[in-house]
Structure 1
Amino acid sequence: MKLYNLIYSLTLLLLVETSASQQQQQQSLQVAFQKQSVVIEKPAIVNYRLHGRFLHITDIHLDKHYLEGATIKSDCHRAPHKHKKKKKRQGKLAGYWGAPGTDCDSPRRLVHHAIDTIARDWKDKIDFILWTGDNARHDGDVKLTRTKKEILGYNKKVTQLIQKAFTLDNNRTLPIVPCIGNNDVHPHNQLRGMKNNPQLLEYSQLWSDFIPQDQQKHFRKGGYFASDVVPGAIRVLSLNSLYFFGSNDIVSTCSDPTSPGYQHVQWMKKQLKKARQENMKVLIIGHVPPTVKTFKDSCLDDYIKLSTKYADLIIGHMYGHSNMDHFQIISRKYSDVARLSKEEDDDDDNDDGEEEGSTVEWIQKDADRFISTLHKQYRKLQKIRDREDLVVIHVAPPMLPLFYPTFRINEYNADMTSSHFGDWLRYTQWYSNLTYWNEQVDNQKQQQLLTQASNKEPWHTKPEFEIEYSTDETYNMTDLTSSSWFEFAERISSKEGHDLWKVYLSNMFVQSNNDWYGQSLPEDDHDDQDDDQNNENERMPFILPLPAMAWFDWLKQKAFLFAEMLL
């Protein structure tokens, strides 16, 4: 009997231990599975239909001081002086909808109308919005300098306009990804790398609906963040290009471990590594584009290194700032591509940070050099066969009517079952000919005077946007991968692509060669010469006092002739 009780007790003890061991194993398996599920996370299910399109807008430059009828010399801020004895000499004055071809910024009515029009026509057809900075006016009027409060006020206003306009019927706001421009800080170009930077704190609050909660700490620290615009599939890295910007001389280079630029690069590296682990596609956006002219050398090198290492993930690099519609090819390995214009840029006396295409004065002075350098860059590509170290940078034209106001509708592969999901397929560039729409307002005002009608503002005469070009129909591009841009660069810089080069230049300046100026163009008498020769005439300086739009027309004519010389 004692033996039986002993065996029974041992059996019960063995059963208890076995049960405890099984429970412990199950718990270990659950913990291991949970850990594994953190690493191997399935993409989130998108509970709405993807359209395969996204909007890119940039460089709005709202100006509350814009005054219709003001002088261009005053940045469209002050009416012309009236003289009692002298006959009034009236030149070109600020138009109702803006002053294209001048250094004046965007009137409020243009910004309101443009945003509302784009939203009306596209908000139900796009998946997200890229918004690449410079919402505040320039600081060109010495009699009306900008303040921190004014700059933040412009950004608040534009943020409210965009957020309200792109709210869908189901009360869902489209994903919007903004970034800081060099004119969105005070003083312009300069942003300190410091803990609790007050300007970054203000923008973190202003854009709290756009910046994910887990990215707020990164934005408050450095002005950059990541946003999943298509959950589990496409991530946008919104960069703070001011920490890479050569004109921001209050921060050091990216090779300095204490600099905000270095910290920014480390954040980029972590984000791209994380995107690869999660099988995400990535769009990189910023305001100032990475070029030898704009970025600090070490920052540019780091940017290119990361971009080439993670090229398989990156859909595209999309920027603003330079105003001219173009793309550049940068590289660390091939100095004849990446550093092509370095020697020319080093002796440039423009040190105020307002580079390529930012003012009419710059266009009159330096755009011919920029275009010829760009043509060289494209042509040099023909000699390069190993292109894995090349990066294509895209610069969209502005809503600011330096030329004509624009916006860009991009299309991508939205089939989430496809191995090519996220591939950039094409874009369509839209613009509005403000010269025409200003004339319509003027005509209606004259009609009102003749008919003695009530003096009401002609709000019914509002600008319409039209297609300027599309990459598939105009450029015959089947997609917008890097290899397609390389092929396009070769094509427009070749002898056979001369006519397409002309089209490309017209698009670069947003069709701003208005026929009604009627200016004659000078003839070119240069002989053909090889593009590798060091020729002083290559600069081809401007010498005639033409109106602003005629400058653009002549500029393109000169660029065409220069291309013919190279060919």
Structure 2
Amino acid sequence: MSYLLFSAGSALLCTFLLLVASPPTSHSDVRTDMEKLDALRRTIQKGRFSEAGSQTNWECELCEVGVTILKKTYGENKFQDEVAAALTQLCILSKLQDKTMCTGFTKEFKHEIVTIIGQTPLSSAEVCGLVVSDCSGPYDPTKFWKVTLPNTPKPPVTPPKPPKPGAPVSRVLFLSDVHVDLLYKPGANAYCGEYLCCRANSPAGKEGPKPAGKWGDYRYCDTPLWTLENLLQHLAQKQSEFDYAIWTGDIPPHNIWNQSRSDQLNALNIVSDMILKYLKIPIYPSLGNHESAPVNSFPPPFVSGKDSISWLYDALAETWTHWTPVSTKSNIERGAFYSVLVRPGLRLISINTNYCYNLNWWLLLNTTDPAGQLQWLTQQLQQAEDKGEKVHIIGHIPPGIDCLSAWSWNYYRIIDRYESTVAAQFFGHTHRDHFELFYDMKNRTRPTNIAYIGPSVTTYQYMNPGYRVYEIDGNYPESSMQVVNQQTYIMNLTEANLTDKPTWQLEYDTKEAYNMSSMTPADWDKFIQRLEKDTELFKTFYRYMYKSQRTDQPFTQKRRTAVICDLKTARSNDPSMCTLTPEVTWKDLQNYRTANRLC
């Protein structure tokens, strides 16, 4: 399915293309811009890209002209309605999506796109430099801010050592990306031509009916509520093994063309109540990009009135404080982040990575440290360092994936400064099972930290449902608090649908499967070096990355290079750790990420 409608740049481009289908006639001052746009449209439709330069060049030019038009005509509701009507009409005619989805997307995103483009202080070239790959304006505003680090000198670094045999171990449950579909219907079409299927009203699609299984489906379908309940029943029976749980967001399903605030709050309440029913252990949540309506829409605190995100953050504060101290409530209401002492010596910090997300268009109004979150994080880490605490950071979107450059690079600086304090990081979002390794900023050779990226509960797309258990160096003096091992569990969906007896089973134990004696950052760096040389090991890792299911992507050296590049790159838009050749370029790796993005 085309990713066109779900990329910030491409969605904007789509809007601008559609403007020319029904241009507003009341603006003589934009007539020249309209003529440019119409000429570009005709050139593109005829496939004569050479007349407009490379594809990237015409995308950039198209973007800039379209942004200029929106800026000049911002604030006129009649014009917004004309844009919406044109958008819907041409989306249908060009068969980007079906009529239902085209109409829904227009309704969901019209106000947001027009409002943000109309209000942003950035020029048209600067906007397009942010949202369209390879466009560069007069300057990139994301590069012109830095978080202030304290003057306190960085303590001498002592490389972490594996714990002694027999040392206490804490077990931490990890859940992410449940994406529960309350309208899932067994037997409904699972390949319907829409972004989410397996519902009673899912159309047949070009290939005819593809009936969905009872417990879920590998195709364009999310998690049935009864499958989540089955997982929680399974976990309830073994919860005495867990010290606490991490839950890194994305609760609603992928019907992102037809969601409301009440839909999202309903999903939050139903899933939270079910978790409360079955799990009686502490749970530390973070916020996913799907919790808002429209999807990915997270205005910073300075945006007030009807566009404010307080409707969601206030609800989160009420829900999350079932598990977190009341003292966290004010920060959750302000920015959906918080800090909590898990036990003496171990602090957990939950961050809101939607404030780095390159599909959160509200950041175009001001990209500089939204909600002051990174400055707050720095203060929290300094306090932890002063007290001798170790810190675990949790969030939804991994810092090296889908984040705006300035936020991502500032976060990298923070981790570099506090490498002796930050013992582990945990993220979700990609639905896959992998990691990102951090290296020192002086020469980028010494591994300093690791962000673990855990598997999704949802099957979306072509993966078994899964969860993770992390083994943490336990509660004793001088504990490193680092991850010492991990196990991933899956439900074999094919078997569950055939037998109607779902079981959750160990997919693999990391140290055993990868023949690792320990799991320090240095050990993971050695593991990456092995992946680069050992084809069979890479194939094993790749199979587990997709939870022992996805087989539709043949093994290629380009794919291998891209995967390894991602493992070594915890900064977005940073090719410095990647092996680039004439056959495998940075653009190739970016295209791989786009093709494999699940949002």
How far apart, in 2, do the equivalents of 1:159 and 1:51 lie?
A: 28
Counterpart Cα distance in 2 of 1:392 and 1:246: 22
- Alignment equivalent of 1:119, drawn from 236, 245, 270: 236
Structure 1 position 160, deviation (Å): 1.1
Structure 1 residue corresponding to 2:177, chosen from 39, 42, 59 = 59
> 8 Å contact 1:304–1:391 — kept in the other structure?
no
Query: What's the CA shift for 1:253?
Result: 8.5
1:410 corresponds to which letter in structure 2? Y
User: Where does residue 242 of structure 1 map in the other structure?
Assistant: 354
Match of 2:298 in 1: 191
SS in 1 for 2:512: coil
Q: 2:388 aligns with which of 275, 279, 291?
A: 279
Match of 1:479 among 480, 499, 518: 518
TM-fit CA distance, 1:489:
0.9
Does the alignment pair 1:410 with 2:463? no
Summarize the alignment of residues 96-175 of structure 1 with structure 2, pairs less than 5 Å apart.
Answer: 96-100=214-218, 102-121=219-238, 123-140=239-256, 142=257, 145-167=258-280, 174-175=281-282
Compared CA separation, residues 67 and 414, structure 1 to 2 (3 A): same
Matched, 1:433 2:492: yes
Report the residue type matching 1:132 in the other structure.
Answer: T
TM-score by length of 2: 0.61
What is the CA–CA distance in structure 2 between the aligned matches of 1:535 and 1:525, rounded to whole Å? 10
Paired residue for 1:398, among 456, 463, 481? Answer: 456
Structure 1 residue 464 corresponds to structure 2 residue 503: yes
CA-CA distance at 1:487 after TM superposition? 1.2
Alignment of 1:544-563 (within 5 A): none
Contact 1:254 1:298 (8 Å CA) reproduced: no
- What is residue 534 of structure 1 aligned with on the other side? 582
Q: Taking structure 1 as reference, are residues 476 and 420 closer, same or farther at Cα in structure 2, changes over 3 Å only? A: farther
Residue 370 (structure 2) pairs with residue 260 (structure 1): yes
Pairwise CA RMSD of aligned residues?
Answer: 3.3
Asked whether the equivalents of residues 171 and 472 of structure 2 are also in contact (C-alpha less than 8 Å), the reply is: yes
Rg bigger for which structure?
Answer: 1
- Residue 173 of structure 2 aligns to a residue in which SS? strand
Residues 84-99 of structure 1 aligned to structure 2 (within 5 Å): 91-99=209-217
Which range moves more in the overlay, 309-318 or 246-255?
A: 246-255
Q: Distance in 2 between matches of 1:218 and 1:69?
A: 44
Q: What letter matches 2:582 in structure 1?
A: N
Q: Is the 8 A contact 1:105 1:401 kept in 2?
A: yes
* Correspondence for 1:456: none
Counterparts in 2 of 1:479 and 1:119: CA distance versus 1, 3 Å: farther
Paired AA for residue 138 in structure 1: H
Match of 2:483 among 424, 432, 436: 424
Distance across 2 between alignment mates of 1:524 and 1:233: 45
1:290 paired with 2:399, answer yes
Q: Is the 8 A contact 1:315 1:481 kept in 2?
A: no
Report how many residues are paired. 395
Using the alignment, how far apart are the partners of 2:555 and 2:518 within structure 1?
A: 38
Is the 2:168–2:476 Cα contact (8 Å) retained in structure 1? no
Range with greater deviation from structure 2 (180-189 or 156-165): 156-165
Q: Which runs of 5+ in 2 are unaligned?
A: 1-166, 303-307, 562-577
Which runs of 5 or more structure 1 residues have no equivalent in the other structure? 1-48, 83-87, 168-173, 335-383, 442-460, 543-550, 553-567
Give how far 1:437 is off. 0.9
Partner Cα separation in structure 2 for residue 80 and residue 246 of structure 1: 30
- Correspondence list, 1:361-372, <5 A: none
Tell me the equivalent position of 1:78. 200
Q: In structure 1, give the amino acid aligned to 2:394.
A: I
* Cα separation, 2, equivalents of 1:308 and 1:531: 23
TM-score, structure 1 length as denominator?
A: 0.64
* Residue in 2 that maps onto 1:327: 435
**Structure 2 residue 414 is the aligned partner of structure 1 residue 306:** yes
Q: Percent identity?
A: 23
1:320 Cα deviation (Å)?
A: 0.6
Q: Aligned partners of 1:61, 1:93: CA distance in 2, in Å?
A: 20
